[in-house]
Amino acid sequence: MAVETQAGIRTIRYRDALNEALREELARDESVILMGEDIGVFNGAFKVTAGLLEEFGERRVRDTPISENTIVGMGVGAAMTGLRPVVELMTINFALLAMDQIINHAAHIRYMFGGQVKVPLVVRMPQGAGHQLGPTHSHSWEAFFLHVPGLLVATPSTAADAKGLLKAAIRDDNPVVFIEHEYLYGQRGEVSDDPDLVADFGRAAIRREGTDVTIVGVSRMAVTAQRAAQGLADQHGISAEVIDPRTLRPLDLDTILASVRKTNRAIIVEEGWPHGGVGANLAALIAEQAFDDLDAPVGRVTGADVPMPYAKPLEEIAYPHEKQIVEAVLATFGDR
C-alpha cells in the first residue's frame, strides 16, 4: 500500500493513482458518473475501479452489458445533457467497437452542431503487449486517436500523471481518450494526495536531462526509454535526454524541439505499429521545424508491423525494449 515519503506525497501504484483520481472527482462533482463492463461488482478487469461501487453506489458506478459502442454513445448523450461520464473500455482493442461513437459522434458533435453543445466525456482504456493476450487484446493504438481532431489524447506513463491527467480529463469540457497501459498498472510512483492538484495537458515532461540525443518515449515507452538512457550512459558514454509527451493532443512540440536543437539527434519510441504512427508524425514535425538542427535523420523505434502473436518469444520481439532503443541511438552516431 501507500508509503509516505514526505507530507502529502506517497509512493503508490499507477492503478491506485487512477483509482484516487476517480474517487476524488466522484466526491467533488455529483455530475461525474462511471460506466463500464465489470467496473462495479467485479471491481474492474484491472482493478482500477476497486471499491468505488461500494463507496458511491450503483447510481454513480454503473456496471454495463458488453455493448461498447452503446455505452460510449450513452456517455456522449449524457455528456451533452449535463453529466461528466467516465466510460471504461476493457482494452484498447475493444475501443474499435466504439469507434463510431468516439469519432463520428464524440469528436464531431460540437463542430458539426456549430458549437451549440459540448461533450465532456472521458473514455479510458488500457493498451500494451507483454501478457500473451494475442492479437485481440495487446495493441498500442495512440495513433488512431491522435489522428482525430475533436479529441484530446492522454498517454500517462507515471502514477502521478495517471492521477493528475485523469483529473484534468474529467474536469475538461472536451472529449478525452485516456490511454492507460497494462504493464504500468502495477508500477509505483510518487503521487500527491492533494485533491486539487491537476496536471496540464500539452506539457511534455523531461524525464531525464541529457545533451547528446533526444529520445521521445510514448506511454510505457517513456519508461523503457529511461532504462535505455541509463544503459547508453553506463556503457556508451552517451548522454540521452528522455522526453515524455504525456499528451498527444494537444502536443507540446516546443519542449521536443528545444531538446532536439540542443542535442541535434532525435529518436521516437512507441509500442504501436510503424506506419502512420506517432513516431511517423513526430518525425515529420521535427523535420519540418528543426531540419537544420539535425545531425542525423530522425529515428524511430516501433512495435513490429504484425498483429500481436501469442507465443512468448515472438511477443517479446514484437514490441520495443531497451536494446532496440540503444541500437537506434548508436545508429545516429554512425560507426561509434
Partner 1 sequence: MTEHPLPDPDVAIEWLETMTLIRRFEERAGEMYAKAKVGGFLHLAIGEEATIVGSVRAMRERDYLISTYRSHGHALVRGTNPDNVMAELFGRVDGVCKGRGGSMHMFDIERRFMGGYGIVGGNLPIAAGFALASDYLGSDDATLCQFGDGASNQGTFGETLNLAALWSLPIVFMVTNNQFGMGTALERHSAVTDLHKRGEGFGVPGMQCDGMDALDTYAVTCEALRIAREERRPMLVEAITYRFRGHSMADPEEYRTREQVEEWRKRDPLITFGDRLVAEGVIDDERREQIDKDAIARVDRAVAFADNSPNPPPESLYDDIYVLGGQVRGWWSLDERSPTPHRGEDERDHDQQRYGEDATPSTGEIPQQMTAGLQYREESH
The residues assigned a catalytic role are 68, 137
Quote the least distance from Cβ 258 to partner 1, whole Å: 13
CA pair distance 160, 290, nearest whole angstrom = 31
CA pair distance 203, 11, nearest whole angstrom = 23
* Residue closer to partner 1, measured from CB, 9 or 257: 257
158 binds partner 1 (CB under 8 A): no
Candidates 114-122, 180-188, 271-279, 318-326: pick the segment binding partner 1 (CB under 8 A): 114-122
118 binds partner 1 (CB under 8 A): yes
Judged by CB under 8 A, the number of residues near partner 1 is 59
Residue 65, exposed/middle/buried by CB under 10 A (0-12, 13-18, 19+)? exposed
Chain positions 163 to 182 lying near partner 1, rule: CB under 8 A, are 168-169, 171-174
- Give the x-and-dash track for 306-325 against partner 1 (CB under 8 A): --------------------
Which amino acid does the sequence have at 131?
Answer: H
* Residue closer to partner 1, measured from CB, 98 or 269: 98
In the set 67, 135, 136, 314, which binds partner 1 (CB under 8 A)? 67
CA pair distance 305, 286, nearest whole angstrom = 23
Instruction: Give the distance from CA 50 to its chain's centroid.
Output: 21
Quote the least distance from Cβ 314 to partner 1, whole Å: 33
In the set 251, 268, 301, 328, which binds partner 1 (CB under 8 A)? 251
Give how far Cα 202 sits from Cα of 199, 205, 208, Å: 10, 10, 18
Quote the least distance from Cβ 195 to partner 1, whole Å: 18
CB neighbour list of residue 110: distance below 8 Å, 6 or more residues apart: 117, 118, 119, 150, 174
CA pair distance 259, 216, nearest whole angstrom = 10
99 binds partner 1 (CB under 8 A): no
Quote the least distance from Cβ 295 to partner 1, whole Å: 21
Would you say 191 and 114 are in contact if contact means Cβ atoms under 8 Å apart?
Answer: no
95 binds partner 1 (CB under 8 A): no
39 binds partner 1 (CB under 8 A): no
DSSP string, 200-251: PTT--EEEE--SSEEEEE-THHHHHHHHHHHHHHHHH---EEEEE-SEEES-
Characterize the bridge pairing of strands 176-181 and 9-13.
unpaired
- Give the x-and-dash track for 278-297 against partner 1 (CB under 8 A): ------xx--xx--------
CA pair distance 91, 144, nearest whole angstrom = 14
CA pair distance 321, 300, nearest whole angstrom = 13
42 binds partner 1 (CB under 8 A): no
205 binds partner 1 (CB under 8 A): no
201 binds partner 1 (CB under 8 A): yes
Chain residues binding partner 1 by CB under 8 A are 33, 59, 62, 64-65, 67, 69-83, 85, 100-101, 104-105, 109-118, 146, 149-150, 152, 168-169, 171-174, 200-202, 247-251, 253, 284-285, 288-289
